[in-house]
Amino acid sequence: MKLEDIKGVIKQFEYYRMLGEKTFNQLSEEHLFWKYNEDSNSIAIIVNHLYGNMLSRWTDFLIMDGEKPWRNRDKEFDDDITDKETMLLKWNEGWDCLLNALNALNESDLDKIVYIRNEGHTITDAINRQLAHYPYHIGQIVFIGKMLTNNNWQSLSIPKGNSQKYNDQKFSEEKEKRHFTDEFLKNKNNL
- pLDDT bin (cut points 50, 70, 90) of residue 190 is low
Number of neighbouring beta carbons within 10 Å of residue 119: 13
Helix (H) or strand (E) holding 98: helix 84-103
Domains of the chain in start order, with CATH, are 3-186 (1.20.120.450)
* Phi, then psi, of 169 in degrees rounded to 5: -65, -45
Task: Look up residue 172 and give its amino acid.
Answer: S
Confidence of residue 93 (pLDDT cuts 50, 70, 90): very high
* The one-letter amino acid at 11: K
Q: Is it the case that residue 191 has pLDDT exceeding 90?
A: no
Output DSSP code: residue 175: P
Mean pLDDT confidence for 143-152: 95
Query: What is the pLDDT confidence band of residue 187, given thresholds at 50, 70 and 90?
Result: low
Helix (H) or strand (E) holding 116: strand 113-116
Contact 81, 90 (CB under 8 A): yes
What is the average pLDDT score of the chain?
94
Q: What percent of the chain has pLDDT over 70?
A: 97
| Interval 115-125 mean pLDDT | 98
Q: Quick check: 48 pLDDT over 80?
A: yes
Q: Terminal CA-to-CA distance of the chain, rounded, Å?
A: 34
Residue 67: which of 126, 13, 134 has the closest Cα? 126
Whole-prediction pTM? 0.93
Q: What is the 3-state secondary structure (H, E, C) of 12-81?
A: HHHHHHHHHHHHHHCCCCHHHHCCCCCCCCCHHHHHHHHHHHHHHHHCCCCCCCCCCCCCCHHHHHCCCC
pLDDT(43) > 90: yes
Question: For residue range 78-88, what is the model confidence (pLDDT) as tens digits?
Answer: 999 999 999 99
